[in-house]
A = this chain, B = another copy of it.
Amino acid sequence: MNTSDYLAAADAACCASGTRLTALRRRVLELVLGYPGVVKAYQVLADLQAERGVVAPPTVYRALDYLAQQGMLHRVDALNGYIVCHHFECTHRALILACERCGKVTELSGDDAFAALSASASAAGFVPREQTLVLTGCCKECA
């Protein structure tokens, strides 16, 4: 899916959830899409500042939080960053593979793995919230 199709789909998804993909949010999403892997909030902030002059951190964090909530982005705690989710239409668990050498990030469906974890957790009476799983390691190219 190319960027403009993606944005159109994102727009539709936002409307469907009764929210709006505003100009700001859309621009933030575009910026994130422009990066190959994981994107930091302050990178986006710098980009916005370059375009618009003064922009404060909350502006960016709010947009990123919104996009993550809508499923277009995943927040990756282990990396203090965000990645684009390329199949936000379906609710799903993401399994993120982050290469420690080249920084490349791959997303798999984590549904199966999540099921395995949930089984362990359930045994302890624990109900996991839907979330992103992250594995750091070494990718195919860097091996």
**A interface, CB within 8 angstroms of B:** 77-78, 95, 97, 99-100, 106, 108, 110, 112-113, 116-117, 120-121, 124-129, 131, 133-140, 143
**B126→A97 contact, CB < 8 A:** yes
User: Copies of this chain, how many?
Assistant: 2
Most chain-B Cβ atoms within 10 A of its Cβ — which of A78, A117, A129, A137?
Answer: A117
**B121→A135 contact, CB < 8 A:** yes
Q: How far is the CB of A47 from chain B (nearest CB, A)?
A: 25
How far apart sit A117 and B109, CA to CA, in the bound complex (Å)?
11
* Cβ-neighbour of A138 out of B117, B120, B129 (below 8 A): B129
Cβ-closest 9 pairs across A and B: A125-B140, A116-B116, A128-B137, A77-B78, A128-B135, A129-B137, A113-B117, A97-B126, A127-B138
